[in-house]
């Protein structure tokens, strides 16, 4: 009888640990895309910025905002919008190095942390490359969907020395219309 009680307690402890791990994962991951979420990105940036203080090197954050996602959701439903978000996440992730981080900042925003660059001026071409990657038409339910993408950029140390200020600057550029807009399905022009 004593062994049965010990086994039951052990099973319950294992189950609690599994549930804790699942809750911790849900806290740090955007479940719709599988990408790190806003909080996880800030934590990663904070650790990386501490390293950059000791070993100086340029880094940047690019915030990309999808435009037109709300109209897709209104016309084709929430699942169609989620499919487009997942497709955008896959495209962004595939266009980057393994050391770069793509995170979800909400329904229509992604952030890309360029963890290491050779020079400050390398961030802008990467942002344009991401727009070009995303500019290939996306389809859902057999239909091409009219989306656009706008981006904002912030670089360490030129635009800030902490995660919050860098992310805030890049987000404000993307959301405020200062960033460059490309309609998905149009070619992204490197010269613009």
The domain ranges of the chain are 31-183
What is the distance between the terminal CA atoms of the chain, rounded to a whole angstrom? 76
φ, ψ dihedrals at 151, nearest 5°:
-130, 155
In 3-state terms, what secondary structure has residue 42? helix
pTM of the model: 0.78
Measured CA to CA, the distance from residue 180 to residue 167 in angstroms comes to 17
CATH number of 31-183: 3.30.70.270
pLDDT digits (tens, 9 = 90+) for 104-113: 998 889 999 9
Report the relative pairing of strands 29-30 and 139-140 from DSSP bridges: unpaired
Confidence of residue 26 (pLDDT cuts 50, 70, 90): low
pLDDT digits (tens, 9 = 90+) for 149-177: 889 999 998 999 999 999 999 999 998 86
Confidence of residue 185 (pLDDT cuts 50, 70, 90): very low
In which residue are the tokens 């897709």 written? Answer: 72
């Amino acid at each position: 009888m004593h062994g049965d009680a010990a086994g039951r307690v052990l099973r319950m402890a294992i189950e609690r640990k599994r549930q804790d791990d699942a809750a911790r994962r849900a806290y740090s991951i955007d479940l719709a895309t599988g990408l790190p979420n806003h909080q996880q990105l800030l934590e990663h940036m904070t650790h990386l910025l501490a390293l950059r203080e000791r070993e100086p090197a340029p880094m940047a954050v690019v915030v990309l905002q999808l435009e037109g996602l709300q109209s897709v959701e209104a016309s084709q439903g929430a699942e169609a919008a989620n499919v487009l978000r997942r497709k955008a996440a896959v495209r962004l992730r595939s266009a980057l190095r393994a050391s770069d981080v793509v995170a979800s900042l909400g329904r229509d925003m992604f952030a890309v942390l360029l963890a290491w660059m050779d020079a400050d001026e390398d961030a802008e071409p990467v942002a344009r490359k991401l727009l070009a990657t995303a500019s290939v038409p996306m389809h859902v339910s057999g239909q091409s969907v009219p989306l656009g993408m706008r981006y904002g950029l912030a670089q360490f140390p030129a635009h800030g020395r902490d995660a919050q200020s860098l992310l805030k600057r890049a987000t404000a550029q993307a959301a405020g219309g200062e960033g460059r807009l490309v309609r998905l399905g149009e070619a992204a022009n490197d010269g613009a």
